[in-house]
Amino acid sequence: MTDTALVACKIEKITDCSTKNKEHIDKGTSELISARKPETAVCPSNICKWRIINGENLVLRYGLLYSRLEASNLLHRCEKELVYNTGILAKVKMFGKLIDIPRKQVAHGDASLSYTFSGNTVPAMPWTPLLTEIRDQVSKTSGYDFNFVLINRYKDGHDYMGEHKDDEKDLCQGHPIASLSLGQHRDFVFKHQDSRGGHKRRLDEKQGRGRNLEPVSILLEHGSLLLMEHPTNSFWYHSLPRRTRALGVRLNMTFRKMNPANCKPVGTSK
């Protein structure tokens, strides 16, 4: 798909088969999707309907997995049960220096799994009954199995996640990543690698012109599930920007399929 084949438009409302929940889209930012009308596909479990979002090497599915009441109950249980990393496990390496992660974080998964990113290796704590319950529902709805979940807790809009791609060698290549959101709605922004700083400048020098693919912004609702399918993470960076007006707590669970052969021992770095 070429640049000119992409158009900016708004995503239509999503209907939840079991609730009156509706999708809220950030009116201040356009959604970059394919020129054809977005498709709607029913989830395998018939719990929600997917909104399919396509762009240049961008393949996303978004739907409401839980009702507002169900999502609130899960958030309450998570707030009571989850214990987050501290010390070295709560830091990442930036420009050769260890800094605090601007949010709380913990990982759970199958035995011996770990996840290495930004200069730190995070071990998977054992699955709990609550997380197993959520994982199984995500798998049933998405049609994919997962053996690892990275959980981020944002106390309010001051906590954020910078631009990055989930393309580490630890991950099973080509397997989707499923992102479940609970709590405060936040906008989630995708930016194509050719439209970012240094990469764009190199293209300018090499080709004599830049590529200006517009960012894609989706407002992630309480109880929503976003499926990032291949090859999205090979070409698109994503981030959760700081939003000081967002006052509530947000939990995000990204379910992944890790390759045990590539997982490093805890305490090592890239």
The C-alpha atoms of residue 66 and residue 214 are separated, in whole angstroms, by 30
* Portion of the chain with pLDDT greater than 90, in percent: 57
Q: Using the predicted structure, report yes or no on whether residue 19 has a pLDDT greater than 90.
A: no
- Give 242 or 13, the one with higher predicted confidence: 242
| Contact present, 33 and 55 (Cβ < 8 Å) | yes
Q: What is the mean pLDDT of residues 50-70?
A: 96
Residue 267 in domain: no
Tell me whether residue 115 is annotated as binding: yes
The answer to whether 154 is annotated as binding is yes
Is 4 annotated to bind ligand?
Answer: no
9 in a structural domain? no
Mean pLDDT of the chain: 80
Residue 168 banded pLDDT, cuts 50, 70, 90: confident
Q: Please give the average per-residue pLDDT across 249-260, as a whole number.
A: 96
Per-residue tokens: 205: 């020098």
User: Residue 32's pLDDT is what?
Assistant: 30
234 has pLDDT over 90: yes
Which of 58, 78, 23, 70 minimizes the C-alpha distance to 252? 78
User: Is the pLDDT assigned to residue 38 strictly greater than 70?
Assistant: no
- Least trusted range by pLDDT, from 51-60, 168-177, 188-197, 204-213: 204-213
CA 169 from chain centre, in angstroms, equals: 17
Q: For residue 238, say whether it is annotated as part of any ligand binding site.
A: yes
Segment 10-15 mean pLDDT: 34
Residue 235 annotated as binding site: no
Looking at residue 94, its pLDDT comes to: 76
223 annotated ligand binder: no
Give how many domains the chain has, as a whole number.
1
- Asked if residue 18 is part of any domain, the answer here is yes
The answer to the question of residue 269 being in a domain is: no
The region of weakest confidence among 49-58, 112-121, 196-205, 258-267 is: 196-205
Does 166 carry a binding-site annotation?
no
Interval 71-92: pLDDT, tens:
999 999 999 999 999 888 888 7
pLDDT of the residue at 193: 92
What is the mean predicted confidence (pLDDT) over 201-221? 75
pLDDT for 79: 98
Over 90: is that where the pLDDT of 133 sits?
yes
pTM: 0.78
Express as a percent the part of the chain with pLDDT over 70.
75
d(CA 45, CA 35): 29
pLDDT at 50 over 50: yes
The residue range of the domain holding 31 is 14-262
Does some domain include residue 206?
yes
144 is in an annotated binding site: no
Residue 95 marked as a ligand binder: yes
More confident residue, 98 or 59: 59
| Whether the Cβ atoms of residue 17 and residue 40 lie closer than 8 Å to each other | no
**Does residue 2 fall inside a structural domain?**
no
Give the Cα separation of 262 and 27 in Å (integer).
Answer: 41
**CA gyration radius, the chain:** 18
Residue 167 lies in a domain: yes
Whether the predicted pLDDT of 138 surpasses 80: yes
Here the CATH number for the domain that contains residue 213 is: 2.60.120.590
Residues 192 and 59: their CA atoms lie apart, in Å, by: 12
Which single residue is written with the structure tokens 């995500």? Answer: 138
270 is in an annotated binding site: no
β-pairing, 114-117 with 104-109?
Answer: unpaired
Beta strands in the chain (DSSP E): 6-9, 31-34, 40-42, 49-55, 58-64, 91-94, 97-100, 104-109, 114-117, 120-123, 148-154, 161-164, 177-183, 186-192, 216-220, 224-229, 236-240, 250-256
pLDDT tens digit sequence for 91-118: 877 777 888 888 999 999 999 999 888 7
112 contact partners, CB below 8 Å, separation of at least 6 = 124, 260, 263
